[in-house]
Amino acid sequence: MIDIEAVMADFAVRQAERQTQVVEEIQQLKTAILPHLQDAGIARIEIRFDGCGDSGAVEECVCLDATGAPMPCPDVTLLEGEADKADRTGSAELHSLGQALEQLTYLALERHHPGWEINDGACGELVIDVAEATFVLDCSLRFTATDDHSTEL
């Protein structure tokens, strides 16, 4: 017979470990990404995402200069060690800056809005202000609601 309390306790421990890992990975990616954005003259990044129906994706990553004009994402590869855990496998595989930005978005969503891709889903953007070194996740959660009434006449 399955001991459901033991299973739930084990699940809670694994979830806590994963949350700790995600927080560390987010910090590691933020630290790795900022200098490359500064070097490229990028002032702001807007990473848009959308999800529903049990799927979701980063839809667009826009890099902006100090005047607000769009510019291409630099073709930069993060050095080994800059984002070691970013692929969740712990491999030493190198990541492009674009991949690191996308992974940062997915990790932020996992940390702050788990299930953002389920049912009606969520949409929004991760905005990075390079000069201020701020990362703001704006997320609009969608849901279907009903307002049911029953009246005896």
Q: What's the confidence (pLDDT) of residue 94? A: 63
Amino acid identity of residue 116, one-letter, is: W
Express each pLDDT in 129-152 by its tens digit: 999 999 999 999 999 999 999 999
Confidence check: pLDDT of 92 > 60: no
Express each pLDDT in 36-62 by its tens digit: 999 999 999 999 999 998 899 999 999
Taking CA atoms, 28 is separated from 55, 66, 81, 103, 110, in Å, by: 26, 25, 10, 11, 16
Residues in the chain: 153
CA dist 95 and 88 (Å) reads 12
Express each pLDDT in 31-40 by its tens digit: 999 999 999 9
Q: What pTM was estimated for this model as a whole?
A: 0.85
% of the chain exceeding 90 in pLDDT? 84
Confidence check: pLDDT of 88 > 90: no
pLDDT class of 86 with cuts at 50, 70, 90: very low
| 3-state class (DSSP) for residue 134 | strand
